[in-house]
Amino acid sequence: MAIYSEDEDPNVQQCEKENIIEAIRKIIEQHGDFSIADLDGESSPLINSMGKDNVQLAERFYLNSIDVITYVHETEVSDDSISYRDLDVDVLEEILTLAQNFEADSLQTEKRIED
């Protein structure tokens, strides 16, 4: 039987991932899909860096997955879909922050429309 610290325990990490994913899904269920373009001044989360000028960035966020754009020398070369379950906790936390910002913007817009 392996002994892990809380940060290394795969069960704790999986539980944390599930909680973050559920929070992201709840916001998207209530306010809809969103993209980085919907969030002024926000930058796309880095999913993978494959060298100096070859990166994958999360650009669009859906209920069960994200769209990841691969850029080589700032040119878009491919578009893939990745499940939230396949992302690291730190990326999920960044996406949750973006989702919370999108939620706040949506609520502010709804309030302006009501007034």
**pLDDT tens digits, one per residue of 45-102:** 999 998 888 999 999 999 999 999 999 998 999 999 999 999 999 999 999 999 999 9
How far apart are the C-alpha atoms of 107 and 112, rounded to whole Å? Answer: 9
* Geometric angle at alpha carbon 102, from 97 and 108, rounded to 5°: 125
- Structure tokens, 77: 């070369």
**95-115 pLDDT, tens per residue?**
999 999 999 998 888 777 876
What are the residue ranges spanned by the domains of the chain? 35-114
- DSSP 3-state of 61: strand
Are the CB atoms for 102 and 62 separated by under 8 Å?
A: no
